[in-house]
Amino acid sequence: MNETITKKRTVLARRILYPLLDFIKAESFSGILLMFITLIALAWANSPWAQTYIDTWLTPFTIALGDYGLTKASLLWINDGLMAIFFFVVGLEIKRETMVGELASLKSAAFPVTAALGGMLVPAGIFAVMNYNGAGLDGWGIPMATDIAFALGIMTLLGNRVPISLKLFLIAYAIVDDIGAVLVIALFYTAEVNFLSMWIAFLIFGVLLVLSAFRVRNIWIYVLLGVVMWVAFLKSGIHATVAGILLAITIPGRTKITKDEFYSSTDEVLSELDASGVVSGNAPSQVSDVEIYQGAVHTIEKNCEEALSPMHRLEHGLHPWVAYAIMPIFALANAGIFIDADLVGGLSGSLPIGIILGLVLGKPLGILLFAWIASATGIAAKPRTFSWMQLIGAGLLGGVGFTMSIFIANLAFAGSPLLPLSKLAILCASLLAGIVAYFILRYASTKSKEELVS
């Protein structure tokens, strides 16, 4: 009986922990890569070849089918197109977390969700107070965001000093942050709406929901309809990246066969293969043996495909592309700002100060305050595996806004001279929050070990 329970727990741990560790490794390396790409973008934009930087991202690019086509600057294809894929993967991560991760139950989700709400409301409030009736008020959503890749990249520098539970907490509240950012983008950063295109987009979304309800598992059907929905949102005036999140919602998250069915079918195939004597330590040589062997392999391959949900297969397949290609390209195209004395002098204005205070002070303050209230009132309990000091460090990592903050800044100040100023403030705030978080987590981890020893 105990052995059966142990095996079930081991299987459950593998199903949840192994994908999570892969996710952490990919995001961690992606964060470190983003740091180098950001430096390259800044160096390029401030070099003698600065004009080539501008020209590269303003170069028009056209995708056409017959008489119909879309022509946009390369920068817009990145921000509207590639980032839709980014948000699609974010949506898959959100769905996975709500099904089997830290957000799967009310008990486990309560603490990071409450902390994340504080990490969004307090920074937005600080920014709004600093920019009340000012030209920069539209940027109130900028300090709400968290860049999970950068945050995990900084955590990676600390090695095993950071407990896995703290990384889980960071991932959970960052995903809730992403949900908040998507809602903010959809509700508050849409200027004019073409209702015909909008209703077409939602009609396609409805069709996708019906397909999901009927357990249609062909990924390409979802992809093709998702592209049409993306175009409809693009024409509607609602930011096209919303299509990525909505498409992710419709991707089936359940497997076609159960775990027991997978074990039973695969064991049966292997037993028959072993009994046939086809495989005896060497690869089969005769034609008939090869056919039997390949048939068995094909059956096992089919079992593996049916044991993985379309959601899992898409997330697993697309995540490296997002982590190692899309996010670095976005950083290269958007982080390159020309820094001169006037821009640096502008950092004393209410807009950059609001961004910096919101990210560096508002994020950890909001996360700590709401987490403490939740713990004190019994709404949620802080995990015992990390200290309040470590939680402050994780909250400061939430102040590393970078990708999401720059994305919202692009929406808030498109074509405005406030855009480069807001980007510089985001870079400064992210750098400051990351450095302070690193030393706080390093100190807190050392102190925790000393307390355990004593």
pLDDT tens digit sequence for 147-172:
888 888 888 778 778 888 888 888 88
C-alpha span between 325 and 427 (Å, rounded): 20
Percent of the chain with pLDDT over 90: 37
Q: Are strands 68-73 and 60-65 parallel, antiparallel or unpaired?
A: antiparallel
What pLDDT band is residue 5 in, cutting at 50, 70 and 90?
very low
Output b/e per residue, 380-419; b: 16+ Cβ within 10 A: bebeeebbeebbbbbbbbbbbbbbbbbbbbbbbbeeeebb
Mean pLDDT of 112-138: 93
Place of tokens 């009927």: 214
Say how far residue 337 (Cα) sits from the centre of its chain.
24
Place of tokens 């940027």: 139
Q: What is the pLDDT of residues 205-242, one digit of tens each?
A: 999 999 999 888 889 999 999 999 999 988 888 888 88
Phi and psi angles of residue 70, each rounded to the nearest 5 degrees, phi first:
-125, 130
Task: Put residue 215 in one of left, alpha, beta given phi > 0 → left and psi -120 to 50 → alpha.
Answer: left
- Give which of 338, 341, 339, 321 is closest to 330, Cα–Cα: 321
Phi and psi angles of residue 44, each rounded to the nearest 5 degrees, phi first:
-65, -45
Q: How much is the pLDDT for 41?
A: 94
Residue 385 three-state SS: coil
Task: Put residue 119 in one of left, alpha, beta given phi > 0 → left and psi -120 to 50 → alpha.
Answer: alpha
Q: Nearest 10 degrees: CA dihedral of 288, 292, 297, 301?
A: 120
- In this predicted structure, the answer to whether residue 451 has a pLDDT above a threshold of 60 is no
Phi and psi angles of residue 192, each rounded to the nearest 5 degrees, phi first:
-120, 145
Output b/e per residue, 10-40; b: 16+ Cβ within 10 A: eeeeeebeebbeebbebbbbbbbbbbebbee
Report the CATH superfamily, name and number, of domain 32-88+112-186+326-453.
Na+/H+ antiporter like domain (1.20.1530.10)
Q: What is the pLDDT of residues 177-198, one digit of tens each?
A: 888 888 888 888 876 788 899 9
> Of 264-278, 349-363, 423-437, where does mean pLDDT reach its minimum?
264-278
Place of tokens 């004019």: 192
C-alpha span between 85 and 423 (Å, rounded): 23
- Give which of 375, 405, 403, 378 is closest to 387, Cα–Cα: 375
In eight-state DSSP terms, residue 360 is I
Q: How much is the pLDDT for 267?
A: 79
Q: How many helices (H) and strands (E) does the chain have?
A: 20, 2
Place of tokens 């068995």: 296
- In this predicted structure, the answer to whether residue 6 has a pLDDT above a threshold of 90 is no
Mean pLDDT of 127-139: 91
Place of tokens 């069709």: 207
Q: How far is CA 204 from CA 69, 207, 252, in A?
A: 20, 5, 16
Contacts of 366 (CB under 8 A, 6+ apart): 117, 118, 119, 120, 121, 122, 123, 395
Q: How much is the pLDDT for 282?
A: 54
Residue 69, H or E segment? strand 68-73
Task: Put residue 254 in one of left, alpha, beta given phi > 0 → left and psi -120 to 50 → alpha.
Answer: beta
Asked whether the beta carbons of 200 and 40 are under 8 A apart, the reply is no
Greater model confidence, 361 or 17: 361
Q: How far is CA 328 from CA 27, 57, 158, in A?
A: 12, 14, 23
The dihedral through the CA atoms of 349, 351, 354, 360 has a sign that is: negative
Q: Token pair for residue 445?
A: 């981890």
**How many CB atoms are located within 10 Å of the residue 167 CB?**
22
Residue type at 166?
L
Query: How much is the pTM?
Result: 0.81
Instruction: Give the domain ranges of the chain.
Output: 32-88+112-186+326-453, 259-303
Q: What is the pLDDT of residues 270-286, one digit of tens each?
A: 777 777 666 555 555 55
Asked whether the beta carbons of 29 and 153 are under 8 A apart, the reply is yes
- In this predicted structure, the answer to whether residue 11 has a pLDDT above a threshold of 50 is no
Gyration radius of the chain over CA positions: 24
